[in-house]
Structure 1
Amino acid sequence: MSGTALEWFKSSYSGSEGGACIEVATEPTAVHIRDSKTNDPGAPHVTVAPTAWAAFLAAAR
């Protein structure tokens, strides 16, 4: 991760009810994924390569 804070964004499919959604933060060499119910910058998250994230999105569609 770079020296700056990650900018997390919620899935466009997320509703306002606060259900089971994810947030993503991207960098040129990494994609970070976490549970959207947390607003804690130090909360655990998963980090994958952009190519792995793209493959996941393609399979999920």
Structure 2
Amino acid sequence: MPETSHSLHWRKSSFSGSTTQNCVEIADLPGGTAVRDTQHRDHGYLEFPATEWRALLADIKDGRL
């Protein structure tokens, strides 16, 4: 059963800073991560499998993205 946006524990991206409204939030899912736009929370969220999320973060940390 898919999680609802309201049942997830959302946290703001550490890259967003504390004073900006243009950011994303992430939440842990069983086996992955959910991502949503803070300006359009009502539009839902995208789900990424754990392996894809780890690969994305690794690419960002290594400067490939």
State the TM-score, normalized to the length of structure 2: 0.71
Q: CA RMSD of the aligned region, Å? A: 2.0
Following superposition, the deviation at residue 14 of structure 1 comes to 1.4
Unaligned runs of 5+ in 1: none
Paired residue secondary structure (1:37): helix
Higher helix share: 2
Of 17, 20, 23, the residue aligned with 1:17 is: 20
Q: Structure 2 matches for 1:9-48, cutoff 5 A?
A: 9-15=11-17, 16-19=19-22, 21-40=23-42, 43-48=43-48
Query: How much has 1:12 moved relative to structure 2?
Result: 1.2
Aligned to 2:10: 8
Letter in 2 for 1:22: V
**TM, length-normalised to structure 1:** 0.74
